Copies of this chain bind each other. A is one copy, B any other.
Amino acid sequence: MLMPTTSTAVHTAPASRTAARAAQPAPASHKLTGPIEMMGAPMSFGRNGEIYGEGEPADFVYKVVSGTVRTYKVLADGRRQIGAFYLPGDVFGLEVGEEHAFSAEAIAATRVLVVRRSALMNLAARDSNVARELWTLTGQELARVQEHIVLLVKTAQERVVGFLFEMAARRPAGDTVELPMSRQDIADYLGLTIETVSRTLTNLEHEHAIELPNSRRIVLCNRPALNEMHG
> Which A residues fall within an 8 A CB radius of B?
73, 75-77, 79, 81, 83, 95-97, 101-102, 124-126, 128, 131-132, 134-136, 138-143, 145-146, 148-150, 152-154, 191, 231
Contacts and interface: CB of A to CB of B under 8 A. Distances in A.
Given A73-B150, A149-B83, A96 B142 contact: yes
A73 B77 CA distance: 31
B96 A135 contact: yes
Integer count of this chain's copies in the complex: 2
A152 B146 CA distance: 12
A122 to B, nearest CB: 11
A83 to B, nearest CB: 6
Nearest to A127: B128
A79 B143 contact: no
Contacts of A102: 146
Contacts of A132: 124-125, 131
Contact of A75 (B95, B126, B146, B231): B231
Contacts of A79: 153
B77 A152 contact: no
A51 to B, nearest CB: 18
Contact of A96 (B77, B125, B143): B143
A126 to B, nearest CB: 8
A102 B149 CA distance: 12
Contacts of A145: 142, 145-146, 149
B81 A138 contact: no
Contact of A139 (B125, B138, B149): B138
Contacts of A150: 73, 75, 81
